[in-house]
């Protein structure tokens, strides 16, 4: 049997990049997935890539919108018969530069989408009965190594990811044994979202990594799949750093 045979997962922010990579890995290992993103057209393409309606359902909307969250959770249960996993992958970073130059409304938006949205998704999924009678439900939050120290340039994004990491700790502590909650903290992964961090200088950026390359979505997908699976059945409240070794030398 595949690792996730019969499981149903919601993956937010999954029309491309890390989210789509996670959804692809889960489907390849036997799960059916509900994927979300803002743009319906991009989601339709993602569903086709995931194997069509037998394997995936796409629902467009704002990840921070509670009505959208309710719709997605209901659709997962109605379409695929349950809900076992939640992956909170949606994140934004609209500002770059010294943190004191940040607009207060932008800071609020970052915290709303990157932290409060993940909390709300979790709250609603647990209330809807996340998990089955034989195995606990499992949640993975996609954080970042930016949440582990100072960045100097993406401060509010880093603050939000630090908060998400601690939210993972609190939820892991409080939701066991019925639901496990863990996080992954990637370094730079080659996606459109992170392109500004390496475009035009990928070789130079990768030189700081002991593995001598930047991450790809498949690197993060494998870690998420493990944390959702029975293989991680005695792990909760933890953040797995997936960074090609870059933080070993103190770099973010």
Catalytic (active-site) positions: 157
Cis peptide bond prior to 106, omega within 30° of 0: no
CB 137 within 8 A of CB 180: yes
Distance CA 94, CA 84 (A): 32
Kindly compute the dihedral angle of the four CA atoms of residues 92, 99, 142, 215, in this order, to the nearest 10 degrees.
Answer: 90
Distance CA 158, CA 149 (A): 8
Q: Which helix (DSSP H) or strand (DSSP E) does residue 180 occupy? A: strand 179-186
DSSP 251: -
């Amino acid at each position: 049997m595949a690792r996730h045979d019969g499981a149903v997962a919601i993956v937010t922010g999954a029309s491309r990049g890390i989210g789509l990579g996670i959804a692809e890995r889960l489907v390849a290992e036997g799960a059916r997935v509900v994927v979300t993103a803002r743009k319906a057209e991009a989601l339709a393409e993602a569903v086709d890539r995931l194997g069509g309606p037998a394997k995936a359902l796409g629902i467009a909307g704002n990840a921070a919108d509670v009505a959208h969250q309710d719709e997605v959770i209901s659709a997962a249960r109605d379409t695929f018969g349950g809900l076992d996993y939640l992956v909170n992958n949606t994140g934004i970073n609209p500002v770059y530069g010294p943190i004191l130059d940040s607009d207060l409304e932008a800071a609020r938006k970052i915290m709303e989408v990157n932290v409060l949205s993940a909390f709300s998704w979790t709250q609603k999924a647990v209330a809807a009965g996340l998990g089955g009678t034989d195995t606990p439900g499992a949640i993975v939050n996609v954080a970042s190594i930016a949440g582990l120290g100072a960045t100097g340039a993406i401060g509010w994004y880093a603050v939000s990811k630090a908060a998400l990491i601690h939210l993972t700790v609190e939820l892991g502590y409080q939701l066991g044994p019925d639901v496990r909650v863990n996080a992954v903290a990637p370094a730079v992964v080659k996606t459109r979202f992170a392109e500004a961090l390496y475009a035009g200088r990928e070789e130079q950026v990768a030189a700081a990594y002991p593995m001598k390359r930047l991450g790809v979505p498949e690197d993060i997908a494998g870690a998420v799949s493990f944390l959702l699976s029975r293989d991680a059945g005695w792990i909760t409240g933890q953040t797995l750093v997936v960074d090609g070794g870059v933080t070993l030398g103190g770099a973010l």
